[in-house]
Amino acid sequence: MKNIFILAIAVTCLLACKESPKGRNGVTYKTPVQYNDYIITRQNIVVKKMLAFGKMAGTNPDSAIKMLDAFAIETTAMIRELQDMPPYQGDSLFRDAAVKSFLFYKRVFEKDYKELLDLKMRMEKGADSVENAMNELTGRLSSEEEKRDKAFQDAQEKFARNNHLQLSENTLSKEIEKAGQE
């Protein structure tokens, strides 16, 4: 009888050790695909918001500013969700790169895009000195975003290699390229 009890405890311990990672956000990640997709789904939401902002900024700057306030709040919630994810099998590089990217997006929504809109409206009203400031700000943002995107992409690729995932191109890539050319 004693041996059966010890065997039951051993089996329970082994099953507990094999349990899928579950975050404080209540989500269980049974596979690396689920873990990856959780992050990428949130990234796609933010990218769509950035594209929507770009369209609105060109036609209605006042509405665009209101969008930014809502986007910042939503991005803050996504940052918490990402921070509540556990490392996947001890690896937190991909999650941490995502958090850094989202912190950048949050700052952009709260501050930088509003500043950019303000400069744009001042330039449309005939202010001469704002074009240089506008170009400087867009250049700085582009450079910083490029670095963040590279770090995020590198972390995702490493996560994919370590977990034997095959990555495919994100369908939003073409929309982003198109928006950048306009």
pLDDT digits (tens, 9 = 90+) for 15-64: 344 456 666 777 888 999 999 999 999 999 999 999 999 999 988 888 99
Q: Model-level pTM?
A: 0.81
Q: What angle do CA 108, 109, 115 make, to 5 degrees?
A: 70
Q: What is the pLDDT of residue 81?
A: 95
> What gap in Å lies between CA 55 and CA 175, rounded to an integer?
12
Sequence ranges of the domains in the chain: 2-181
Model confidence pLDDT, tens digit, residues 52-109: 999 999 888 889 999 999 999 999 999 999 999 999 999 999 999 999 999 999 999 9
